[in-house]
Every structure is written in structure tokens, then in C-alpha cells.
Amino acid sequence: MTDPNQSPGPTGVLVIDKAYGRTSTSVCTVVKARLRAGGAPKRVKVGHGGTLDPLASGILVILIGKATKLCDEVMAGEKAYLAEVDLGVTSPTDDLESEPVPTPGAQPVTREGIERACEKFIGRIDQRPPAHSAVKIGGKRAYHLARAGDKPEPEARPVDIHEIELRAFEWPRATLHIRSGKGVYIRSLARDLGEALGVGGMLAGLQRTKVGRFTIDESITLDALSDPLTQEHLTITPEVERLLKPRPE
């Protein structure tokens, strides 16, 4: 039986600027420990709205308490990224998790050529996830199959890319600003862009700058986050307020 005098525990949102090399799960672990140090119940719920790969930095929306019910809503929001693409190499994982392989005979392309190629990936497109990804093939994760020596080929699936802007270019590196819907693999975009240009294509760096209503400007690093954490440190968005409203009897 629930004790009516017991605090329901903290509820709200934290917008974390995740550092390169950290897993999304490890960020949740740190937040949970600091909440418990601030008096939160041992089983306080902590989750995140959309995983960010260890080799990426930027926004990770942390959901606490009743706000964890907003996970699907947060994940459905538009994402924005700054992606650095190396057009001179490829890699088995389509990023720096595996050793880059120089593309034989790859010739420098022009800025205009990149911009024309990017136009082909804007809108609703069919995108093939990376071989090293969490998608399932025959009930097994693709990355498990790849690490076991198989060559998984995940099926392409429809995704939405709203904008690709070339922010900077000096062969072989191109910096792209990307706005997209959920489920887009920026690694796959880097790979496919290179294939469209007839050169290499590997994601060399990634920062997520926007998730739904949340932007990088309002984020905080783990190092700057209060320890311990209490309710006063959490953001109460209109969506969270809706969850906290008493239900009519």
C-alpha cells in the first residue's frame, strides 16, 4: 500500500549537453545517483528521449519521474545536427568506431556538387540503417551479427529529412546542418552522400543541437549539473504540467 504521506518524488526535465564518449545510459545513471543524493526515492525513474551515440555529443533530454511518460512525444520531435562528413574514407561502422579505409581513386568534389547531391536526400526517403546498428534482423541486433563476422544488410525504411545545409567545406571534410524527423541515421546519410558523389563517406563528428522544443543553448553539461539534484533543479515544461494536473474524479 502506498503511504499517502510519502513524497511522490521529483518530476521534470533536464536538458543535458552530453560529452563525446559518454553513453546515454551512463548520463541517466549519474542523474539518478544525484537525485537520490538529494533525497529522491531509491526507485526514482530516469530515462531519456532518444539515444545519442557515444561518438556524438550534444542534446540528451533526460526525463524524470512522471515525465518519463513523455518519452515517445520527445522522440517524435524534430532533431537538428551538425555533422562532419569525411568524403575521403569509409569504415565498416560508417563512423570512427572502426578503422577508416581510404577510398582508392577518390577525387576532390566541389561545393556545388555536394549541395546538388544533398538535395536528393531531402524529403521522405528510404534509408538503409548501418550494418552496425541496433535494428533487428531475424530477431538479432545487426551489430551483434556484424561483430560475429556476418554481413548484415538491414532493410531500408522511410525517414524524413527536412533540410541539409552545407555549412563548411574543405576537401575531404564537409560540415552539414541537418534537420530531420525521428529514426534518421546520420551515419547512413554520410555513407549514402559519399556513394552519390562517387567518393568515400564516413561520419567523422556529430553534435545534436535540437530535440523538439529543446535547443543546445539551454543545455547544461554533467560537470555543471548540481550535486545533489532536487526538484528545484528540474524544468517543468507545459507537457510536464499537463501530466501533473490532478485527474477529475
- Which residue intervals of the chain bear CATH 3.30.2350.10? 79-211
The residues of the chain scoring below 70 in pLDDT are 1-8, 132-152, 246-249
d(CA 239, CA 219): 18
Q: Give the per-residue pLDDT at 134.
A: 63
DSSP calls for 83-109: EEEETTEE-TTSSTTS--EE-TTPPP-
DSSP calls for 118-148: HHTTSEEEEEPPPSSSS-EETTEEHHHHHHT
Give me the CATH code for the 79-211 domain, please. Answer: 3.30.2350.10
Cβ 61 vs Cβ 74: under 8 Å:
yes
C-alpha distance across the termini of the chain, in Å = 20
d(CA 35, CA 25): 15
| Residue ranges with strand state E in 35-78 | 46-48, 57-64
Amino acid at 247: R
Alpha carbon 190 to chain centroid distance? 15
In which residue are the cell numbers 518530476 written? 11
Cell of 165: 545545409
- The length of the chain in residues reads 249
Q: Give the per-residue pLDDT at 145.
A: 54
18 phi and psi, to 5 degrees? -70, 135
Do the bridges between strand 173-180 and strand 202-211 make them parallel or antiparallel, or are there none, so unpaired?
unpaired
- 3-state DSSP percent of the chain in helix, strand and coil, to 5: 25, 30, 45
What's the DSSP call for residue 193?
H
Q: Give the per-residue pLDDT at 224.
A: 96
Cβ 235 vs Cβ 13: under 8 Å:
yes
Q: Which residues are catalytic?
A: 53
Q: How many CA atoms lie within 13 A of 156 on its CB side?
A: 9
Neighbours of 225 (CB within 10 A): 17
Residues 6 or more apart in contact with residue 157 via CB below 8 angstroms: 126, 127, 128, 129, 183
